[in-house]
Amino acid sequence: MTKHILFGLLSATVLLASCTQKPATHPTDEPFRSVYHHSPAANWMNDPNGMFYDEANGVWHLYYQHNPFGTTWGPMHWGHATSTDLLTWEEHPIVLYPDSIGTIFSGSAVIDKKNTAGFGENAIVAIFTQSERIGQHQSIAYSTDGGYTFTKYEGNPVLMGDIADFRDPKVFWDEQSNQWTMALACQQEIRFYGSPNLKDWTYLSSFGKDLGAHGGVWECPELIKLKMTNDQMVNKFVLLVSINPGGPFGGSATQYFVGDWDGKTFTPAPQGEGREGASKWLDYGKDNYSTFTFHNSPDGRLVAIGWMSNWQYAEVVPTVAFRSQNTIARDLFLFTDDEGEFRLGSVPSPESLALRGEETKYLPDAGIVELTLDGSQDALITLSNDKGEKVVMNLDVHRRTFSMDRTASGDCSFSHDFAARTVAPLFIKRDTYKVLLFIDHCSIEAFDAEGAWSMTNLVFPSEPYNHLDVQGGEAKIYTIR
């Protein structure tokens, strides 16, 4: 979750009655509606929630923080969309509504294959924060129709909060301790809880003091296990932690920690000389927040999606009927950089790469650009339109950085925090750098093609960028299928 205002339930009866209002539809001429990114049909969206993959039917389920009554943050519900390809999304009715316990903040969902909770074998169990005026608590709901409708557990809440910020449960089955494990954001630390049945939770440990960035409240944690092959197989855990504010370029961002998990305690791995306590960032743009992975992804993959915005200006970006959208799907993996440091890599998922259509000489308003840049010299990449609006990217081989400057990208007037230049370390020195640009109506996602870094930034040009200039390399432009 993410908004620091607690939504007080003035009257549960009034609030529930208001939920019968019909959300507005979106206009067909909305200029910033994305071609291949998920966005709500109308109104407000923030954190992705409860994502899971239904392997029997080949369906990806995405829930999300949703205000069905306006385009700014408000009484939170769980919206719902599904996809068979992670590119085209079908909207479904809201699955979780506020009740007398509180509004429905962020959380996760699992497939209870062993029927530990007693709701039925393979029941989908959602674990989420309910927020009210006097506090935040964790509740559960279950689905026996594959995730399309949910019934709230009559014994809610299952975990009572003892502090003001006590939210965003991410749950997984831990083979080491043979129980469910919950990572929970608690102000500026992460607490871990264990349960045999998703109903009864026991405190295990806490993590975070004096580690990482602490410029704002910690949110949306997730503990994931990764395998990496070098000379030998290495198993590590990565703890994702979103923070707002405190990101590297202002506002919200997602940091991570690499370490070990013993079934009770997360211990961060030693860092390189002079780096003790340094922050590591999942993405080096301003607009990738509250990133989560899908539960039960096929073939052991870690498929992630993030909310493509920043709390500095999320409620005032110049879209009309909706706010906001999500990133493309990305696969996460572990690697070591040139200094032997563990890093979390991110590449476009195969489903996202399947967007690439025919090669073209002209820059479409939504397309993919593949850059091949000479590692012996600096490179300058400029996207622009006939109005003179532009996004300038620079590969600096001496500083070993890739940057994106959107200060002249188009409309920046809605927030003094929007115009910015973001910078990513290259992490691995190469003779040739390949960079992928995913361009949509209001966003640019840049990736090191081998996953060493990623950068996600919104842009709002008055007309699409139709010129591409590359100095220090060459480009191939592809249409979108």
440 is catalytic: no
Nearest to 216 by CA among 279, 161, 139: 279
Any residues with CB less than 8 A from the CB of 251 and at least 6 apart, and which? 244, 245, 286, 310, 311, 312, 313, 417
Residue 119 C-beta-side C-alpha neighbours within 13 Å: 26
Residue 389 C-beta-side C-alpha neighbours within 13 Å: 16
Q: What 3-state class would DSSP assign to 149?
A: coil
Out of 47, 112, 331, 405, the active site residue is 47
Distance CA 452, CA 441 (A): 25
Residue found under tokens 């994702």: 240
Q: Check: CB of residue 296 under 8 Å from CB of residue 380.
A: no
Distance CA 186, CA 184 (A): 6
Element at 161 (helix H, strand E): none
Residue 47 identity (one-letter amino acid) = D
Write out the two tokens for 214.
């602490």
Distance CA 31, CA 180 (A): 44
Write out the two tokens for 37.
């990114």
Q: Which residues are catalytic?
A: 47
